[in-house]
Chains A and B, each alone.
Chain A
Amino acid sequence: MTRLLGKTLGLLVLVVLIITSCSSGGGSSGQSAIELTDQLGRVVKLDKMPQRIISLAPQNTEILFALGLGDKVVGVTTYCNFPPEAQEKPKIGGFSTVDVEKVVSLSPDLVVAALIHEKETISQLESHGLKVLALAPKTLSEVTQAIELVGKATGTETQARRAVEDMETRMATVARLVAGLSAEGRPRVFYVVWHDPLMTAGGDTTQSELIDLAGGRNIFDDLSKYPTVDLEALLERQPQVIIAGSGHGSAQNSPLEWAKSEPRLKNTEALIQNRVFGIDADIVSRAGPRIVDGLEEMLRLIHPELAAKLKD
């Protein structure tokens, strides 16, 4: 019943939208169909420019808003907290717990999904006739690809190009600054995801890539994903810089507070040199446009002397 109502409502909205877009006499953009291959290798056919977009992941939301598509976003997850306007949008559930019924009821003409939705959610959404574009960037260059993909799908190629160029310029600047570092000039960095039990970021994570690009060495880059590690392994690998991700809400700073107060770390170079820092976990874990902010922040923490040369 609700679904029927939703569909009817959606149809109505669609009709209204078509009428208004025709009457505005605007672009040729809405006419021809486009075919895209998304980051999960799926072929997505779009008959017209999406006007009602739903994001299933915080980094997708950030990309959409960065491309000026905020007005067309009709649904986001409960974790989408950036930009602040995104929080005003209707919620379609959590990142890993998408409420498919809610998504369908909002009758989107494009759903931007993520890797986590590969197994189940995407086919569920498609069975309801929805168009799904999946973004699954794992590296910084794949982030820029993701942004360009969204640009193509939504007729915002120009904005996407500009955003990507800005990111690439800033990445190149950081790369130039750290280019001259010797192996010893790259400090051993420990990234704290959580402190009890102790969790870090392995070599295949964005955090690890950022540490590497910012002229550091992730001491646990031989592990993958977000493993629980042994405190004694941490000590043995002699961290020179400790960076703790701080999230939101109640326990936001507890990993940092732990790293600063853990008595068994007090003989590490990081503690002796007082090089224990916090970083906004969102900008280093979300594969969105702000990942470059994360990169520059990493540089400030790992190489303050080089970061001074960044022009703000």
Chain B
Amino acid sequence: MAAEVSEHSYSGQLVHSRLLYRRKRLYSIVGLLLLLVIVVGVASSLGSASVPLSTVWRLLLSWLPGVHTDSGISDTLSTIVLDIRLPRIIMAGLVGAALATAGATYQGLFRNPLADPYLIGVAQGAGLGAVVAFMLPFSVHAAGLSLVPPLAFGCGLISAGILYALARVGKTLPMTAVILAGVALGAFLSAITSFLLVNSDNLHGVLLWLMGSFTMSNWDEVHVLFPYLLAGLVLIYLYSRPLNLMQLDEEQAQQLGVNVERVKLILLLTATLITAAAVSFAGSIGFVGLIIPHAVRLVWGGDYRFLLPLSTLAGAIFLILADTLARTVISPAELPVGVVTALCGAPFFLYLLWQKKREVF
């Protein structure tokens, strides 16, 4: 990448190889997109309720406008496939996409391979908000909505605001200060969460929520999360070129015409926004944000113009698969999805690392 941006070579061979390089990555994006569609289809066919495959596909097809293939299917089966499985799968996909993209963005911003959505305290803030919502002396479930997501989201954003105020030096935002302040803030917030939990009446429920779960995902959640995520992703993709330049050095990027401070602020805010939105619905699901961007980097390289969308797709595919395992392995009981992401994701990542380490390092 460095070669690509700094050298302006007009030799035909180089132009050709650049085209080839781009085409290969574009094909990869299209390939992952197709894989995502297949994974959604397969995941909708699996579940603890035994629904015949043909029924599932008739139900899914009836979803397309103008297609009526769902006649004669019972309400229960239709609810199971269309209102329980499908929103759950899509929710897992959206959250996976959000966490992986946010993780890739943080890693690029901090130029730190250990950065992930939980490093700078945003998720901990969201978790605290969720616990507070659980502990309020009233509940608003009767009205069909829960206070957990909005409070989690709000607290996630507030902690990002505090972080920004703490780490800012004059008009600049040194990334080391952000990490240090973020780690300390995260520790402080999770301490408050633990303190509140000790006095909580439904400790078990809150703990399970914090571990992350898609058991109760529904279309309302999809409708709320999707616009946030879409806006966030588009904004992050738009800044992928400056993010590439910033991998060299902030000063060099500045000289190449990137408004470094503005890019940092926008990317930090956007990644935080989509993290908080994802965590507020799904709880903290570890591993996706850290490992998916690295896996993508190992396979397709570190060009952020491709790394970001590829991470989005890989994150979605990975979390859908993980959640499908979580709900089918010991069905009708469920595993916490975070357990699956770590249990399956870690060995896969280690394998990838072992295969590619000579090429990359």
The chain A residues found within 8 Å of chain B, CB to CB, are 94, 97, 194-199, 220, 223, 226-233, 235-238, 247-254, 257-258, 260-261, 263-264, 267-268
Contacts and interface: CB of A to CB of B under 8 A. Distances in A.
A194 B47 contact: no
Point out which of A226, A250, A268 has the most chain B C-beta atoms below 10 A from its C-beta: A250
Q: Which 7 A-B pairs have the closest CB atoms?
A: A233-B332, A236-B49, A227-B333, A249-B201, A194-B205, A197-B215, A257-B141
Contacts of B76: 235-236, 238, 267-268
B148 to A, nearest CB: 8
- Determine the interface band of chain B, counting residues with CB < 8 A from chain A: 35 or more
A196 B211 CA distance: 12
Nearest to B80: A232
B64 interface: no
Given A198-B216, A267-B75, A228 B205 contact: no
B79 A197 contact: no
B142 A220 contact: no
Contact of A223 (B75, B142, B143, B333): B333
A195 B142 CA distance: 13
Given A197-B209, A257-B141, A232 B49 contact: yes
Given A227-B334, A248-B201, 15 more contacts: A195-B205, A195-B216, A229-B334, A230-B327, A230-B331, A232-B49, A232-B84, A233-B331, A235-B76, A238-B76, A247-B201, A250-B134, A251-B134, A257-B139, A260-B142
Nearest to B213: A197
Interface string B130-156: 000011111101111010100000000
Given A232-B85, A257-B141, A252 B215 contact: no
B202 interface: yes
Contacts of B146: 196
B55 interface: no
B215 A228 contact: yes
A235 B333 contact: no
Contacts of B205: 194-197, 199, 251
Identify which of A196, A229, A230, A236 gathers the most chain B CB atoms within 10 Å of its CB.
A230
A252 B332 CA distance: 26
16 contacts: A94-B198, A194-B202, A194-B205, A196-B146, A196-B213, A227-B333, A230-B215, A231-B84, A232-B48, A235-B49, A235-B76, A235-B84, A238-B76, A251-B134, A254-B139, A263-B218
Contact of A250 (B50, B201, B204, B334): B201
A222 to B, nearest CB: 8
B141 A236 contact: no
A229 B50 CA distance: 15
A194 B139 CA distance: 14
A233 B201 contact: no
B208 A228 contact: yes
Nearest to B143: A261
A217 to B, nearest CB: 15
A237 to B, nearest CB: 8
Contact of A236 (B50, B201, B209): B50
